[in-house]
Structure 1
Amino acid sequence: MTNRHSRLKCGCEQRGFTLVELLVSIVVVAALMALLIVGLQAGGVFARKAATQQTLSALKQSVVQFETEFGFKVPLVFDGSEMGSFSATARGAMNNSGPVYSGQFNRPFVNVYQMGSTQGRAFLRGTALNPTGGNPDYRDPRFSKFSLAFYIAGALGATIDGVEGLGMYAPAADGSWTGVGDSLGGKNRVYEPFMDTGRRAARIESAYFDDIEQQELGGTTPGSMANRSALVDGNGKAFRYYRWLHSDTVGSTLDLNIPGVLLDPVVHRDALGNNTIDVTEGNASLRSATWAIVSAGANKVFGTEPIALLRSELGLGPSVSEAEVRRRAASDNVVEVGP
């Protein structure tokens, strides 16, 4: 009898969750789910950045291998000019006026800045951009979206580099392919791409055109890019290849003429008013570097774009300084530098 009453008593005290308890449970579960989602998103961003870093490391090795093989660095292609017709049968030369190699205009061509010309050296030092000398501002055209595709992957085609599809004959010291297939210093064999471009994190995209980048430097249209292939990252943005020269006399780190995209914008801003500040922040590799490869990262901006565009892309108002806007825009850039 006692056991029966005990069982009845226990049964009478059993109850379900109250409405308040259910709501609290739902809130707790929702909070945990939100934390999980944020964690997964952060993990995904980290994984993509790590993959991009690995790709840039491989690209750096490819650029070093190119220089070892041919005896000169990957040339800096002038992005702002249209390419010649690819219907010509003669293989093309790099040519244009100014700081680029002067050649024949009756062939398909791309343009490349030349270290051997006074104008070319001034351009790579930034003095052609900023007549007062020192480091140029953020509208710095000392980069190419196409150099890596052209020289590392050989993506120009038979009418210019002598090989249909990816791959190329050995370029001449001026970066051109004039006379390829003939006796060119004994280096007339076909070279396969220096890097695998079949991966998601580094692939060739033909007729590459990006509206945001066009707003930065201008001078191009989708039509003018019809014959241009770029090496793009996992976010579909072209890797940038930067080249620069140090000043003959280096009195401060500003005289290293490092492109602003590689510097902390706030430190750079302060150094312009106080040249005792080290814009490299003690980075020995950056101090000795003369070229770099840069990926824009997940936010798809480099931090060098027009400030109004960056504010719009990042949702930042006028209360945030220009230097801070650029710092945030560049915060997820991935960079490799070389001497």
Structure 2
Amino acid sequence: MPMASRCRMPDVMTTRDGKTRRVGVEIEISGLGYEKLVSLTADILDGTARNSGRYVSKVDTPLGEFTVELDSDPIKDLDLRDERVPESLRELGGHAMEMIDYAAERLVPLEIVSPPVPFDQLDTIEVLSDRLREAGAVGSREAILYAFGLQLNPELPNLDADTLRRYLQTFAALYDWLKGRHQLDFSRKLTNYIEPWAGSYVDRLIAEDYSPDLEGLMRDYLEDNPTRNRALDLLPLFAHLDADLLAEYVDDPRIKSRPTLHYRLPDCDIDNPAWHFSTVWNDWVVLEQIVSHPKQQKELNDLFREGRTLSFRNLTSTWRSRCQQWLENRGYV
């Protein structure tokens, strides 16, 4: 009998046009050499690997094309034959590259980037992460220099302003709870690329009468958050919705257009036996379920707004604990 899935599914499984929703996954790890990671990934996913550049490999699998790469463009692009490289390094040739490779594989994360995976096939990612741990992969807790993440790019069920507003309000309300659930490693807490949204923006977002059109929603966000460095990054989605409007606020070639959110908050704690991909995914599904129930979504938003005011209750208990209690009372956890 096959093992029951550890990945929960949200109620809303399809997009507006009836297609199964998908999610892209990015896993940052260390502890395995680049070539070994490519070979393992191909073996686990029943795929075929091919090199497509220095420290970049593609793995063709039944789910689509995965990418395995060193997460550092300068090293991936390094060419010791380039005349701009000091002559002493050019003369060392292969020996220099071996030293650079040795250092890079210990200081820079290796990253596995999935294609858009249908929600109902995420058990494949669960198996992949578990098998990599068994093979010796390590995550953020291994060293103070590591700040490795597990990033999700979930496709939205609808791209209208009301749906997006409810997702953003719910994420703002759940941010403290999610941060606590993911037990962020100290090294990752020191980074600036998983910052919360600006407080002034959150106040505007959760106002009782907040109901902008799509352009207004985008401009409200970008005025206070014109950066990729947010725990929930909206810039790839905005590039898909209105690239010209986004360009008024941000000029960054790293932004890739896609009809998804970019959830950057979670650690990759892959060497922790109690940690699983499904642990992170199932917490995201809590947000999905709240969004799909508008009355409860509004109730949570109202409680969160009240929780940001000065009162005896707010001074004697944390929003995280009150949020946990609300989620338990409503059956979400």
TM-score (norm 2): 0.29
The structure carrying a bigger helix percent of its residues is: 2
TM-score (norm 1): 0.28
Q: Which has the higher contact order (CA 8 A, sep 6+)?
A: 2
- Rg: which structure is higher? 1
